[in-house]
Amino acid sequence: MHLNTSRFNGHYASASRADGFPVPTAHAPEVIGTALKLLREIWRPGLMYKKASVILLDLRDAGAVKSRKTLARRCFPGTA
């Protein structure tokens, strides 16, 4: 997540945060929830933001990733 104000309004501010997922996901609410969590961490009240961006890294074809259940079993034995 990245936010910045205009460079031309007298006070420039910029902030970024990154996060990842322990298990690959294509579940939009999970991705959006993480983006909103990061936004809450870097938001500064009173600033007039010009731009916000979200960059998704390490994207893969769904067929190339093992199932979430298999990955959960490997990451958290005894829970899935």
pLDDT band of residue 79 (cuts 50, 70, 90) is low
Q: Where are the alpha helices (DSSP H) in 1-80?
A: 28-42, 68-75
Q: What's the pLDDT tens digit per position in 41-60?
A: 999 999 999 999 999 888 87
pTM score above 0.85: no
Q: Do 78 and 42 form a contact (C-beta atoms < 8 A)?
A: no
